[in-house]
Amino acid sequence: DNVVRGYDTIWAYYREEERDNISQSSLNDRVGIILNCGTFSYAEMPHDFEYIAGVTGTLKTLAKVEKDILEKVYKVHKMTYMPSVFGSSNRTYNQKTDVRAVKDSEYFMEIRGEIDTVCLASRAILVFFESEEKLIAFYNSSELSSLKNEVQIITETVSVKERELYIKRAATVGRVTLLTRTFGRGT
C-alpha cells in the first residue's frame, strides 16, 4: 500500500531524516538508486499463445490498417460480433452542442456549469482531465471553491485501497469526482 513517486519519495525521506522525524537506519533502508531492470510489451504477449479470444466493444470501428495488423501480425482471421448484454447504447453525439470552444479564462466556468447541469439531473459526475496538473488547477480554482469539500480526486498517485473506495463512491448521485484520463474508458 506504500506509494512511491520515484525520487520524490527518496528526497522526502532525506528531508524527514534532517528534521529528526525518522532515524538514520530508517532512511538507509528506504533510499537508493532506482534502476529500470526491464520492460514489458503488452503488444508482444499474444505471440506467446496459440489461440486469441478477446472482448471489445470497438472491433467494428477499427480502421482497415488496424484490422490488417490483427490479421497479419497477430494471425486473427475470424471475428465474431455479438450484441452487448447491456443492450444498445443510447448515447448520441452532436458536433454542434457536444464540443465547445471557449477562451482559457472561461474554461473552468464551463466545466463548473456542466457539473451543475449533471448534478441537477440527479446523476453522478465524473470529470476527466488530460493531466494531474490540469486537474489540480481546476480543483484549486475559484469556480470549484463552493464544492471543493465534497469533491473527490482519483489520480495515479492515490493508493489502491483509497482508489477502490473512491470508485465505489463515484457512482453516488450528485458525487463529483475528478479523474485523470488514465481512468477513462478507451475508445
Per residue in 7-50, pLDDT tens?
888 889 899 999 999 999 988 888 888 777 777 788 888 888 88
Q: Which CATH class is domain 104-183?
A: alpha beta
pLDDT, greater one: 186 or 78? 78
Q: Are 106 and 79 in contact (CB under 8 A)?
A: no
Per residue in 134-180, pLDDT tens? 999 999 999 999 999 889 999 988 888 888 899 899 988 989 999 99
Which parts of the chain fold into alpha helices (H)? 7-18, 24-30, 64-72, 104-120, 132-139, 160-170
CA angle 52/45/128 to nearest 5° reads: 95
Cα gap 48→75, rounded to integer Å: 12
* pTM reported for the whole predicted model: 0.53
For residue 5, what pLDDT band results from cuts at 50, 70 and 90?
Answer: confident
**Mean pLDDT score, 59-83:** 86
Grid cell of 146 as nine digits = 463552493
**Domain extents for the chain?**
1-38, 42-87, 104-183
Cα gap 31→10, rounded to integer Å: 6
Calculate the CA 132 to chain-centre distance. Answer: 10
Q: Are 169 and 152 in contact (CB under 8 A)?
A: yes
Grid cell of 143 as nine digits = 469556480
What is the CB-side half-sphere exposure of residue 145 using CA atoms within 13 A? 3
Cα gap 75→91, rounded to integer Å: 33
